[in-house]
A and B are shown apart, each in its own frame.
Chain A
Amino acid sequence: MLAVRDLVVRTETGTTVIDGVGLTVPRGGAVGLVGESGSGKSVTSLAAIGLLPDGLLAVSGAVEVDDVDQLSASADARRGTRGKKVAMIFQDPLAALNPRQRIGRQIDEILRVRDGLGRAEAARAAVELLRRVDMPDPEKRANDYPHQLSGGQRQRAMIALALAGRPELLLCDEPTTALDVTVQKHILHLLARVRAESGLALLLVSHDLRVISHVVTDLVVMYAGRIAETGPVRDLLSSPRHPYTAALVRNVPSPRARVALPAPLPGTPPEPSDRPGGCAFHPRCPLARDRCATDKPQLREIGTGRWSACHYAEEVRP
Chain B
Amino acid sequence: MGRLIAKRIGIGVLVLWGAVTLMFLLVRVAPGDPATVLVGATATHEQLAAVRQSMGLNDPLFVQYWHYLGDAARLDFGDSTTLSQPAMTAVLHETAATLQLILAATVLALVVGLPLGAYAGQRPGRFRDRLISAATLGLQAIPNFWVGIMFILLFAGTWGLLPSSGAGGIDHLVLPAVSLAMPFTAIVARLTRSAVAASTAEAYVRTARSKGIPERRVLFGHILGNSLLPVVTVVGLQIGALIGGDVVVENVYSWPGIGSLLVTAVNNRDYNVVQAAALLIAGIVVVLNLCVDLLYLRLDPRIRTGGRA
Residues of A whose CB lies within 8 Å of any CB of B are 49, 51, 53-54, 79-84, 87-88, 90, 92, 95-101, 106, 109-110, 113-114, 144-145, 147-151, 153-154, 158, 161-162, 164-165
Contacts and interface: CB of A to CB of B under 8 A. Distances in A.
24 contacts: A49-B210, A51-B206, A53-B201, A54-B201, A79-B212, A79-B213, A83-B210, A83-B211, A92-B203, A96-B206, A96-B207, A98-B208, A98-B222, A99-B302, A100-B301, A109-B217, A110-B211, A113-B213, A147-B307, A148-B305, A149-B308, A161-B211, A164-B211, A165-B212
A304 B201 CA distance: 42
Contacts of A153: 309
Given A96-B207, A98-B204, A110 B309 contact: no
Contacts of A114: 211-213
Given A99-B302, A113-B214, A51 B209 contact: yes
B254 interface: no
B171 interface: no
A105 to B, nearest CB: 9
A162 B200 CA distance: 20
Contacts of B206: 51, 53, 90, 96
Contacts of A84: 212
Contacts of A164: 211
Nearest to B197: A54
Contact of A145 (B217, B225, B305): B305
Contacts of B305: 145, 147-148
B221 A109 contact: yes
A49 to B, nearest CB: 6
Interface of B: 124, 200-204, 206-214, 217, 221-222, 225-226, 299-302, 305, 307-309
Contacts, number: 99
B300 A100 contact: yes
A88 B301 contact: no
Contacts of B299: 100
A229 B200 CA distance: 36
A80 B301 contact: no
A90 B308 contact: no
B135 to A, nearest CB: 23
B21 to A, nearest CB: 40
Contacts of B200: 54
Contacts of B308: 144, 147-149
Instruction: Specify which of B204, B299, B300 lies most central, judged by the most chain A CB atoms within 10 Å of its CB.
Output: B204
A84 to B, nearest CB: 6
A110 B212 contact: yes
A3 to B, nearest CB: 20
Nearest to A112: B213
Contacts of B214: 79, 113
Closest 6 CB pairs of A and B: A83-B212, A82-B212, A95-B203, A83-B211, A148-B308, A110-B211
A209 B95 CA distance: 70
Given A83-B210, A97-B207, A109-B213, 13 more contacts: A54-B201, A87-B210, A98-B207, A106-B207, A109-B211, A114-B213, A147-B301, A147-B308, A153-B309, A161-B207, A164-B211, A165-B211, A165-B212
A82 B207 contact: no
Contacts of A109: 208, 211, 213, 217, 221
Contacts of A88: 210
A84 B211 CA distance: 8
A161 to B, nearest CB: 7
B226 A98 contact: yes
B216 to A, nearest CB: 10
B233 to A, nearest CB: 15
Contacts of B213: 79, 83, 109-110, 113-114
B120 to A, nearest CB: 15
A99 B309 contact: no
Contact of A90 (B201, B207, B221, B301): B207
A149 B226 contact: no
A221 to B, nearest CB: 26
Contacts of A165: 211-212
Given A83-B213, A98-B222, A113-B214, A149 B207 contact: no
Contacts of B212: 79-84, 110, 114, 165
Contacts of A82: 209-212
A151 B204 contact: no
Nearest to B308: A148
